[in-house]
Amino acid sequence: MDPPEHRQYRNLVSYAFTPRAIDRLRGRVTEITQQLLGEAREPGKMDFATEIAYPLPTIVIAELLGVPSSDRPLFKRWADALLSAQLNDAEFSRPEDEQRDHPEMRRLSQTFEEMSDYFWQMLEERKRTPGEDMMSDLLKAEIDGEHLSMEDTISFCTILLLAGHVTTTNLLGQAIRCFDEHPKALEQLRRQPELMPSAIEEVLRYASPVWRLSRTTKEAVTIAGVTIPKDEMVFAWLASANRDPAQFPEPERFIPTRTPNRHVAFGHGVHFCIGAPLSRMEAAVALPIILTQLPHLRVAYEESPQLFEGRVLFGFKRLPITFEGEGQQPVH
């Protein structure tokens, strides 16, 4: 969607991602991180991707929307299906008639139908009994004096579910990987935890959670001597931009104190990721707790970590780690 419509719709949910709103969530992110660490299934080891990095942001965005904790398994199944669709985006560049018959597209359609039915029911309940959550707020929202249609409200809920967790999941997993591969940086962070926000920015640059974005040209444009016709799909490789030697000295080095660090991991311009402050806060809260409570943490490469497949996301489907202790110490 382009401005001005885009700006109007974006403003409807921007209040949830202001610094004040994000700051109010810090305590809850701490509690969820602690809960997940306490549920570690085996002393001294865990799959960081499935036990921490995936559930933490999924729970946070579910609570923001107002999804009851009893429905989290259902929510997770939908998130899995939407994530799978993103990872297989190459399949959906086929002709439209082939897409309809593709098994992945049929599964995706079924997921959207289930989500639509679920959110329709939840929104009807919110109409009768509003709560303090984003679903209730979207029902009250207006554009040009008119309330959103139920279809638009459901679309909001769906995109927030997907966008609200994928980047953070990848950021958390890649942070652990980067710290493991750079023990001096990890030791520095243990001594100086105030450097964590800077280190998170370097993880975003060095191991971009989203490799690329797709855009369609509205008119012909010439870049570096190459003319791209109108109505062509263009892949903008964020991961490549974040290793640009003209912008970043020694781009192949992981430097947790890198300044300036004007990466584009969250995109750029009017479509800059609206949830970036939430993702940064979740990582800034969770990672120091994890490093403190999981001493001598290391990636267990002998147990074969698995990256997501595809060319869009750079994150771990499976990230086995080992550490000392049980990961169940209380936060002070």
Residue 49 near residue 317, CB atoms below 8 Å: yes
> Helices (H), strands (E): how many in the chain?
15, 11
pLDDT for 330 equals 42
**Which bin fits 75, alpha (ψ -120 to 50), beta or left (φ > 0)?**
alpha
What six digits make up the tokens of 139? 């029902």
pLDDT for 164 equals 74
pLDDT for 210 equals 92
Percent of the chain with pLDDT over 90: 62
pLDDT for 165 equals 78
Mean pLDDT for 278-301 is 96
Q: Which residues contact 91 (CB under 8 A, 6 or more apart)?
A: 99, 102, 104, 105
Report the C-alpha gap between 49 and 36 in whole angstroms: 12
Mean pLDDT for 234-263 is 96
Return the C-alpha torsion angle 323, 326, 331, 332, nearest 10: -90
Instruction: Note the pTM of the prediction, 2 decimals.
Output: 0.89
pLDDT for 78 equals 82
Return the C-alpha torsion angle 119, 123, 124, 130, nearest 10: 150
Among 66, 70, 67, 58, smallest CA distance to 32 is for 58
Among 55, 299, 295, 56, smallest CA distance to 177 is for 299
What six digits make up the tokens of 196? 């964590």
Q: pLDDT for 77-116, tens place per residue?
A: 887 777 776 666 544 444 455 555 667 778 888 888 999 9
Please identify which residue in the block is written with the tokens 């001597």: 225
Could you please state the CATH topology (level 3) that the domain comprising 5-193+276-322 is classified under: Cytochrome p450 (1.10.630)
Residue 233, beta-bridge partner list = 216
Report the C-alpha gap between 222 and 163 in whole angstroms: 31
Mean pLDDT for 287-304 is 95
Read off the pLDDT band of 267 (50, 70, 90).
Answer: very high
Report the C-alpha gap between 236 and 216 in whole angstroms: 10
Q: Is the pLDDT of residue 306 over 60?
A: yes
Q: Return the ∠ at Cα 275 (arms to 274 and 281), rounded to 5°.
A: 135
Distance of CA 224 to the CA centre of its chain: 32
